[in-house]
Amino acid sequence: MNIITIDHVTKDYGCQRGIFNMSFQIKQGETLGFLGPNGSGKTTTIRHLMGFMKPDSGIVQIHGLDCFQDAAQIQKMVGYLPGEMSFIDDMTGIDFIQLIAKLKGMQDLSYAYELMQFLELDAKAPIKRMSKGMKQKIGLVIVFMQNPPILILDEPTSGLDPLMQLKFVELMKQFKQQGKTILMSSHIFEEIENICDRVVIIKAGQIVAIEDMEKLKHNRYKHYEIQFSSLQEANLFMKKYPDARQNEYYVSLMLQGHIDDFIKDLSHYKVNDLNIRSQSLEEIFLQYYGE
């Protein structure tokens, strides 16, 4: 069952800015990564889902409801984290969290306090004195505290340090186990790789690719860096693999798929060291961009 549907959606701002003929769906319990550089149309797409914009053409639906006409109803079931949050700077973090809870009609804040403890958030300080990372933690608490079935997150770890990014990944994995439907825009490729089931890659407002994450992982290349015992050994290996790159005793190459033959070939040479690195999602991303 498709929870989120974007069907041939166009929003044209002129000068080739906007989104154009955008189509993808998110099934119940699926986590979809939304990748693209700044200005590619990620935030515009998300704003359509939240009912902040009406498309020039096409259909934007959540649970079969029109995202623009039924925005108030949709927003009750969605936890939304914008790329840039607005705060009341004169309030403390805890006062702001309590205010949002009151506006949402929440009586029980026990889960909010659990989240603050998990994220190591001291929310007693005035917001105007808080760092970007502290404000981001407040945003995450506000989004998650109502435990909504659908999460739409625009750059959710912006400003967080590496330790908090790991905690965020852990939290998202818990939400996946609970069956939540998640759309997550991010520039951090490791997050997408660790969390998402599929990925949508966009450029200049258009979809470049929609790929299953497991398929991406299976089909990506691996980098092999080999240190041979002598220049002669390296030269002999290069005759078998002429597309590899050589720097004296060192040879590097990229291979895709099964490597049985490569390992058997390598056993015939004297090797001092072998380093293997999987192609990162970022490198895959740049391949789709032709860069």
Query: CA 183, 150, 56: angle at the middle one, nearest 5?
Result: 60
Q: Last residue of some domain: 173, 192, 217?
A: 217
Final residue in a domain of this structure, among 202, 217, 232: 217
User: Does residue 117 belong to any structural domain of this protein?
Assistant: yes
Select from 217, 244, 275 the last residue of a domain: 217
The answer to whether position 180 is within a domain reads yes
- What is the Cα–Cα distance from 217 to 121, expressed in whole angstroms? 35
Domain that residue 131 falls in = 88-140
Q: Are residues 46 and 129 in the same domain?
A: no
Same domain for 255 and 117 = no
Examine the domain organization and report whether 105 and 241 are in the same domain.
Answer: no
Two structure tokens written together for 250:
């060192």
Does pLDDT of 291 surpass 60?
no
83 domain residue, yes or no: no
134 vs 123: CA distance, rounded Å: 8
Shared-domain flag, residues 183 and 52: yes
Q: What would the mean pLDDT of 257-283 be, rounded to a whole number?
A: 85
Please state, in angstroms and rounded to a whole number, the distance separating the CA atoms of residues 135 and 173: 22
Q: How many domains does the chain have?
A: 3
Shared-domain flag, residues 243 and 190: no
Judge if 210 and 227 occupy the same domain: no
For 182-233, what is each residue's pLDDT tens digit?
Answer: 999 987 777 888 899 999 989 889 998 898 988 877 777 889 999 999 999 9
Q: Are residues 30 and 128 in the same domain?
A: no
Residue pointed to by tokens 């949050």: 85
Question: pLDDT, tens digit, for every residue of 59-80?
Answer: 999 999 999 999 999 999 999 9
In a domain, 82, yes or no: no
Shared-domain flag, residues 193 and 254: no
Q: Which pairs with CB-CB distance under 8 Å and at least 24 residues apart come from 244-253?
A: 250/225, 250/226, 251/225, 251/226, 252/223, 252/224, 252/225, 252/226, 253/223, 253/224
Does residue 198 fall inside a structural domain? Answer: yes
Q: Residues 148, 75: contact at Cβ < 8 Å?
A: no
The whole-angstrom separation of Cα 278 and Cα 291 is 19
134-138, 156-160, 200-204, range with greatest mean pLDDT: 134-138
* 121 lies in the same domain as 25: no
Residue 45 lies in a domain: yes
Give CA–CA dist 102/200, Å, rounded.
36
Note whether residue 136 is domain-resident: yes
Q: How far apart are CA 96 and CA 128, in angstroms?
A: 12
pLDDT at 162 over 80: yes
Residues 48 and 189 occupy one common structural domain: yes
Q: What is the DSSP letter of 127?
A: G
Q: In whole angstroms, how far apart are CA 10 and each of 7, 48, 207, 233, 270?
A: 9, 10, 12, 58, 59
Q: Check: CB of residue 104 under 8 Å from CB of residue 140.
A: no
Asked, for residue 230, whether it belongs to a domain, the answer is: yes
Question: Which CATH number goes with the domain that contains 259?
Answer: 3.30.70
The verdict on 39 and 174 lying in the same domain is: yes
> What CATH number corresponds to the domain at position 54?
3.40.50.300
- Mean residue pLDDT across the chain: 90
Task: Find the mean pLDDT for residues 27-32.
Answer: 96
Cα 267 to chain centroid distance, Å, stands at 40
Count of helix runs (H) and strand runs (E) in the chain: 11, 14
Q: Are residues 67 and 159 in the same domain?
A: yes
pTM: 0.82
